[in-house]
């Protein structure tokens, strides 16, 4: 049985753009090799942190929405902890209300992008 999850992780701000993309690709590949399926991905870019973490006040935020076996989430979070480029992460299980909200947010974002184009 698989569940839908949403994970947000913050990468250290000292990484180059290529290093950031490489790190995101690593976690997406990890999800795929763990028999998961990536449904959606968003890069929120560099943002200011609410409080300093490891003496850093900014970080690269990234969101991945995926479907996987519940046991896989522990493996994913272990990899987050082992990777020195990740300074914070949060993974949540999505219920039907969360899925509906995420879908609305994506549709709203698409409408904004299409009107700006």
Please report the domains of the chain, with CATH numbers, ordered by start residue. 3-116 (3.30.70.60)
- What are the tens digits of pLDDT across the range 56-73? 999 999 999 999 999 999
**CB contact set of 63 (below 8 Å; sequence gap of 6+):** 6, 7, 8, 40, 41, 42, 43, 44
95 pLDDT exceeds 70?
yes
**pLDDT attached to residue 111:** 74
Are the C-beta atoms of residues 87 and 12 closer than 8 Å to each other? yes
């Amino acid at each position: 049985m698989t569940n839908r999850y949403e994970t947000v992780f913050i990468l250290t701000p000292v990484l180059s753009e290529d290093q950031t993309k490489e790190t995101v690709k690593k976690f997406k590949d990890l999800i795929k090799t763990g028999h998961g399926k990536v449904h959606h991905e968003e890069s929120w870019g560099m943002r200011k942190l609410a409080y300093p973490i490891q003496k850093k006040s900014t970080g690269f935020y990234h969101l991945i929405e995926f479907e996987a076996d519940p046991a896989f989430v522990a493996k994913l979070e272990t990899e987050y902890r082992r990777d020195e480029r990740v300074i914070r992460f949060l993974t949540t299980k999505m219920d039907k209300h969360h899925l509906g909200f995420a879908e609305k947010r994506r549709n709203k974002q698409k409408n904004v992008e299409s009107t700006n184009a």
